[in-house]
Amino acid sequence: MMIFIIVSLTLVLDQLTKFFVVNNLTLYQSIPVFKNILYITFVSNRGAAFGMFKNQVPVFVAAALAAIILILVDIVKTKRKKISLYDVSLALILAGAIGNLIDRLRFGYVVDFLDFRVWPVFNVADSAITVGAILLGWTMLFSKPVVKDRK
């Protein structure tokens, strides 16, 4: 249940912020939030991370669907009594993948808008995927493996 809440809240935040940007800014328009630090800049990302591999929508859609399916299978088949950092990481990655998939299917590109001027422009879904991947790496490196009692 908690996984569903994390996915839902992250996805709603992602889609609401993108809705605001698409409906209130023109492409490449930039608004300072904190001058010289953070800007809201509407960019259409037709590639993957940092705009690499532009105009490969079918490949990105297939990759997102594969990731979504694999994560859902893991969540459904592993019924845990309490949520772990691993579960949170999967929930964030799932929400981000769904959020960017919605954009690709709807617009043919991903709506990016968080602009720190020292890093490529990104969005809430990208942030969720990045944080989720870092948490997943952390759990894989530093968590004890679960050993099931075999009888």
Give me the count of residues in the chain: 151
Q: How many CB atoms lie within 10 A of CB 41?
A: 20
14 is catalytic: no
Distance CA 15, CA 47 (A): 19
Phi-psi region of 51 (alpha: psi -120 to 50; beta: other; left: phi over 0): left
Distance CA 105, CA 66 (A): 15
Distance CA 88, CA 44 (A): 28
Which residue among 74, 112, 115, 149 is the active-site one? 112
What is the rounded (10 degree) CA torsion for 111, 25, 50, 100? -10
Catalytic residues: 112, 126
